[in-house]
Amino acid sequence: MRLLYALAATAALTAVSLAQSPLNTLFAANNGGGNGWTMYFDVTLNAPLQFTSLDVNLFTGSISGSVDMYWTPNTYVGNDTNAGAWTLGGSGAVTANAMDTPSSVALSSFTLAPGNYGIALVHNNVAPAYTDGDGTPGVPGSGTNQTYSTAELVLRAGASAGGGLGTGICCDPRVVNCAIGYVVAGTGTVANKSLYGTGCVAQYASFYERFASTPSIDLSNTAFRMLNTGTSYIVLPGTNAFVAPSATATNLNLGDDTEATVTLSSALPYPGGSTSSLVVCSNGFISVASGNGTSYQPLGTALLARPHASWNVWRDFICNATGNVWFEEIGGVAYITWNGVIGYVGTTAGTVTSTFQLQFELATGHVDFVFGSMDTVSVSTWAGGEGYLVGFSPSGASLDPGSVDLSAVLPTSIVLPGNDIAPLALNASARPLVTTTINFDTTNIPAGTPFGAVLLGFTQFNPGIDLTGIGMSGCRQYNEGAATLLFLPGGNTSNSLAFTVPNYIGYQIEAQSVVYAPAAGLTQLGAIASNGLALFLGNL
């Protein structure tokens, strides 16, 4: 009851519902297709929307054509080769402006009901310019640059195909560069939910830095060491020097997107196991076993999904064009060297080379990354290669720590734990439409947790109040806790708590989960907290 009284008394929380049109992705292409290509992405409509305008990113100014906007229920995934699955929504003429400048399509408007859809933008006589995604192929929106949203519309990119509907996807993930204009096709206030802040206490057994383009790498003539503690690594500034391949070193003769296995004279220990061989991929990464593939796209999500532990200076390299990959052992250290290799840029190979080396100390399991001169050249205004990814991930699916700036961090150290721990998380099962019942879903609850609660309030603390002072280091408070809803996990790692949304259109409720989990030993107090959740109440 206290919550309902507070809602009725807090008139200052009322708000006017306005469509946040347009939804913008970005106009910053580093890749692109040709005339007639199709861009695919998924959308979620939180309200009935009438699509009224479309801006796209195109190559080559002064060329005229048209763009067709098709839709299919649920998702584009699996429907790219089925032209009959698509319905034309709207279309219109377009004249290409300079790349990275919006080109306006004279879109004929159309309306879609709330729900999930796949969208295909078919380019006729014009060519799309787009951005490489950094997520998992076949999983729209999985990367850090693939999801864009307003209160009414969520866009999850995406892929491209080298022809119209029915042409199989060629390139994935890819981020459509566009701005989609719309109006809400109805009267009322759009209900919306949004997450903010982070839960505690997270720990990550992986680390990496993702350099989005070739010029952005800043590790030339540096080194760092991964000190094996037996159960994990401590990453420290390195002092080892580059050791040039000797006359007796073995040329692995790696071609484009290939791998080779090298045999070690003794087993190399690493966190989680040991190996008597290493699998070397031409694209700059080394694994403890075969099965990690030979992909040329250096993506954090792909790194973290690999079945086997790997050490990475990952880029789309072309070996044996100017330089080679070499292997040799000297004094109990295995040296694997990319010596003067070139990278793939756009549709041609670059001319500037990269030289780097990974040194594996067999007795201890310590690993040194030693960089010579790295290719930092962009050969055109839009193509800088696929970029680089430098780092390590253990065997099996791993949590994402996010890209870290190694140059900034490694004057000190990165201490990796032996295993991942996902932070406590809270979400709502649906948008907060008034008078409906939704669930507060709390996940990543530690085993043995006796009880927890969802704290509700009306004041958002963002970025949150530091709770270190009460023994919850790493945790933050995201609302004032005007009401408390208790729950008992019963030994489960997740809990769903039903909540009937009150009939107060235009008000906003803040929510956060807290659980008491002393057996997990994550904080001194024994409690941990989730991210914040904002619920904007509406009838549409």
Does residue 142 fall inside a structural domain?
Answer: yes
Query: Is 356 found in the same domain as 264?
Result: yes
Whether the pLDDT of residue 16 is over 70: the answer is no
Residues in the chain: 540
Domain count, the chain: 3
Per-residue pLDDT tens digits for 181-235: 999 988 888 898 999 999 999 999 999 999 977 888 999 999 999 999 999 999 9
- Please say which residue of 415, 434, 464 terminates a domain: 415
Q: 196 with 176, same domain?
A: no
Residues 222 and 198 in one domain: no
Higher pLDDT, 276 or 343: 276
User: Based on the domain organization, do 198 and 178 belong to the same domain?
Assistant: no
| Mean pLDDT of all residues belonging to the chain | 92
Residues 152 and 198 occupy one common structural domain: no
Question: Does the residue 71 lie in any domain?
Answer: yes
Is the pLDDT at 326 greater than 70? The verdict is yes
H/E element holding 170? strand 169-176
Average of per-residue pLDDT across 164-168: 95
pLDDT of residue 226: 98
Q: Which of 61 and 78 is assigned the larger pLDDT?
A: 78
The answer to whether 340 and 326 have CB atoms below 8 angstroms apart is no
Band (pLDDT 50/70/90 cuts) for residue 383 is: very low
Cβ pair 536, 150 in contact under 8 A:
no
CB-count burial class (<10 Å; 0-12, 13-18, 19+) for 18? exposed
Q: Read off the tokens for 162.
A: 């080298």
Q: How would residue 378 be classed by pLDDT, with cut points 50, 70 and 90? A: low
The DSSP code sequence of 171-200 is: EEEEEE-EEEEEEESSSS---EEEEES--S
- For residue 92, what are the β-bridge partners? 67
Categorize the per-residue pLDDT at 487 as very low, low, confident or very high, splitting at 50, 70 and 90: very high
Q: What is the pLDDT of residue 376?
A: 84
Q: Which pLDDT score is estimated for 9?
A: 42
Q: Are residues 336 and 303 in the same domain?
A: yes
Q: Is residue 6 part of a domain?
A: no
Nearest to 240 by CA among 310, 341, 353, 337: 337
Question: Do 80 and 213 have their domain in common?
Answer: no
Give the pLDDT confidence score for residue 17 in this predicted structure. 41
429 lies in the same domain as 527: yes
| 16, part of any domain | no
Mean pLDDT of the 449-465 span: 97
- Asked if the structure places residue 13 within a domain, the reply is no
Residue 425 counted as domain residue: yes
Whether 510 and 446 map to the same domain: the answer is yes
Separation of alpha carbons 471 and 480, rounded Å: 18
CB 360 within 8 A of CB 278: yes
Give the range among 94-108, 341-355, 357-371, 436-450 with minimum mean pLDDT. 341-355
Position 22 scores a pLDDT of: 94
Give pLDDT tens digits for 118-156.
Answer: 999 999 999 999 998 888 889 999 988 999 999 899 999
Extended beta strands in 60-128, E state: 64-73, 87-95, 103-105, 110-112, 115-124
pLDDT of residue 509: 98
Please tell me the distance from the alpha carbon of residue 191 to that of residue 126, in angstroms, as a whole number: 38
Q: Kindly tell me if the per-residue pLDDT of 6 is higher than 70.
A: no
Together in a domain, 213 and 171:
no
CA atoms within 13 A on the CB side of 67: 29
Same domain, 81 and 218: no
407 and 432 share one domain:
no
Q: How far apart are CA 54 and CA 330, in angstroms?
A: 61
pLDDT average, residue stretch 269-280:
97
pLDDT at 186: 81
Secondary structure string (H, E, C) spanning 243-270? CCCCCCCEECCCCCCCEEEEEEEEEEEE
267: in domain = yes
* Domain annotation covers residue 499: yes
CATH number of the domain at 81, please.
2.60.120.820
Q: What percent of the chain is modeled with pLDDT above 70?
A: 93
Domain that holds residue 131: 23-184
